[in-house]
Amino acid sequence: MGKHINLAGQRFGLLVAVSLAPKRGTRTYWSCRCDCGAELEIEAGTLKGQKSCGCQRGLARRDLIEETGKRYGRLVVLSNERDEAGKPRLLCRCECGKVKRIALSSLRKGVTQSCGCLSVEMAVERTRTHGQTRTRLYNVWNGMINRCENPNEPKYARYGQRGIKVCPAWRNSFEAFAQDMGEPPSPKHSIDRVNNDGGYESDNCRWATPLEQGNNREVCRKVEYEGGAYPSMSSLARAVGVGYKCLYQMYNARKLPIDQAVARAVELRDKKAGKAMP
Beta bridge partners of 72: 75
Please indicate, yes or no, if residue 178 is contained in any of the structural domains: yes
DSSP 257: -
Residue 167 pLDDT more than 90?
yes
Does pLDDT of 19 surpass 80? yes
For residues 209 and 145, membership in a common domain is answered with: yes
Residue 110 — φ and ψ, nearest 5°?
A: 80, 10
DSSP-assigned beta bridge partners for residue 93: 76, 99
Average pLDDT across the chain, whole number: 82
In a shared domain, residues 136 and 211: yes
Q: Is 199 helix (H, G, I), strand (E, B) or coil?
A: coil
- 184 and 135 within one domain: yes
Min mean pLDDT across 4-13, 60-69, 140-149, 161-170 is at: 60-69
For residue 124, tell me if it sits in a domain.
no
Taking a C-beta distance cutoff of 8 angstroms, is the pair 44, 29 a contact?
Answer: yes
Domain membership flag for residue 191: yes
- Residue 4 belongs to some domain of the structure: no
For residues 103-113, give the mean pLDDT. 83
**Strands (DSSP E) along the chain, which ranges?**
11-12, 15-24, 27-34, 39-43, 71-72, 75-82, 88-94, 99-103, 190-193, 205-208, 223-225, 228-230
Q: Are residues 200 and 233 in the same domain?
A: no
Whether residues 106 and 157 share a domain: the answer is: no
Most confident of 3-12, 55-64, 122-131: 3-12
User: Are 135 and 175 members of one domain?
Assistant: yes
Q: Can you say how many angstroms the Cα of residue 196 is from the centroid of all Cα atoms in its chain?
A: 22
Identify the domain containing residue 92 by its residue range: 67-119
Q: Above 60 in pLDDT, residue 220?
A: no
Residues 145 and 198 in one domain: yes
Statement to judge: residues 207 and 147 lie in one domain: yes
With respect to residue 1, please indicate whether it lies within any of the assigned structural domains.
no
58 in any annotated domain:
no
6 located within any domain: no
Highest mean pLDDT among 42-51, 86-95, 172-181: 172-181
The residue with greater pLDDT, 249 or 276, is: 249
Say if residue 22 is in the same domain as residue 40: yes
State the Cα angle at 186 between 180 and 191, rounded to 5°.
Answer: 45
Tens of pLDDT, residue by residue over 182-210, are 999 999 999 998 777 789 998 889 998 88
Asked whether residue 2 is domain-assigned, the answer is no
Q: Please tell me whether residues 204 and 153 are part of one structural domain.
A: yes
The pLDDT tens digits for 28-75 are: 898 998 887 888 898 888 888 887 777 666 555 555 567 888 888 899
Same domain for 236 and 204, yes or no, is no
Q: How many domains does the chain have?
A: 4
